[in-house]
Amino acid sequence: MTLELAGWQHTYSGKVRDLYRPTDGDDDDDDVMLVVASDRVSAYDHVLEPGIPGKGALLTTLSRWWFDRLPVANHLVEPQSLPTEVADRAMLVRALEMFPVECVVRGYLSGSGWVEYQKSRSVCGVALPEGLKDGDRLPEPIYTPAFKAELGEHDENISYERTIEIVGPDVAAELRRLSLEIFTAASTIAEAHGLILADTKFEFGRDAGGTIRLADEVLTSDSSRYWDEEAWLSGHRGQSFDKQIVRDWLKGHWDGNGTPPQLPAEIVERTSARYAELLDRLTD
């Protein structure tokens, strides 16, 4: 069941967000859209029960905080006039023509990148030096795009050459340039707060005037892996500020078949606290 919002018509629900268009939609060029972040949490491409209370608001606050600080055009429409019911977890944005590319940047070796590195000494086709360990910093951040799959399908890692086929050489180059630029700027800001930005995913779209804009959520715990710098330096590299707690619990309590089990209250609370801690740390 999607929330009814006066003046807005629900058009799409992803695993985490619900999108709305104005009901009195005229055909002016600056078409707008309401992106409402829910408390839903997904892991291994499944939406889990129950949600994480406050997650939608936390992630929305975090995205806004980052949009304010990043040196690139974004999709926010100002001033924001939001339905009061969802004001803390909604963003009024320009409806963009989205590029079906997830612009992943990795500054450190982790997760699927680490798994792949052990087999091939490369990540998504990018060759890396020998002898790196799980959690190591890469010589420089690498761009490893993925094809954005339709709802219910898995995103698929693709080569840079493949992104050229999908969006053309100019856009492909611009998405890579912007992604690396934003990642570097964000890493510097995160480090000033004792946080390491290990990797993240951006999405971009084009507005009616042809400008490429940073869209979706940005640098949140759902789209990024942050680590505590002190813990990392002392060799404790396991715990991030994302849904690792949920993933770890699920791994131990579910074989991956059928519907995942309900998350226990303790896991929900710890995840919620971890998401809140990231926001506190960054914005203190």
* Tokens coding 180: 């690396």
Q: How far is the CB of 221 from ligand ATP (least distance, A)?
A: 14
Task: Supply the Cα-derived Rg of the chain in whole angstroms.
Answer: 19
If the CB atoms of residues 92 and 245 are measured against ligand ATP, the closer one turns out to be 92
If the CB atoms of residues 99 and 241 are measured against ligand ATP, the closer one turns out to be 99
If the CB atoms of residues 47 and 231 are measured against ligand ATP, the closer one turns out to be 47
Q: How far is the CB of 244 from ligand ATP (least distance, A)?
A: 18
If the CB atoms of residues 95 and 109 are measured against ligand ATP, the closer one turns out to be 95
Q: How far is the CB of 184 from ligand ATP (least distance, A)?
A: 23
Return the DSSP state at 85.
G
If the CB atoms of residues 92 and 198 are measured against ligand ATP, the closer one turns out to be 92
Q: How far is the CB of 17 from ligand ATP (least distance, A)?
A: 4
Q: How far is the CB of 48 from ligand ATP (least distance, A)?
A: 13
CA distance 187 to 102: 19
Residues that bind ligand ATP (CB under 6 A): 14-17, 19, 33, 35, 75, 93-96, 98, 151, 203, 205, 215-216
The residue of the chain with the least Cβ separation from ligand ATP equals 14
**In three state form, how does the secondary structure of 160-209 look?**
HHHHHHHHCHHHHHHHHHHHHHHHHHHHHHHHCCCEEEEEEEEEEEECCC
- Output b/e per residue, 233-255; b: 16+ Cβ within 10 A: eeeebeebbbbbbbeebbeeebe
State which H helix or E strand residue 280 sits in. helix 265-283
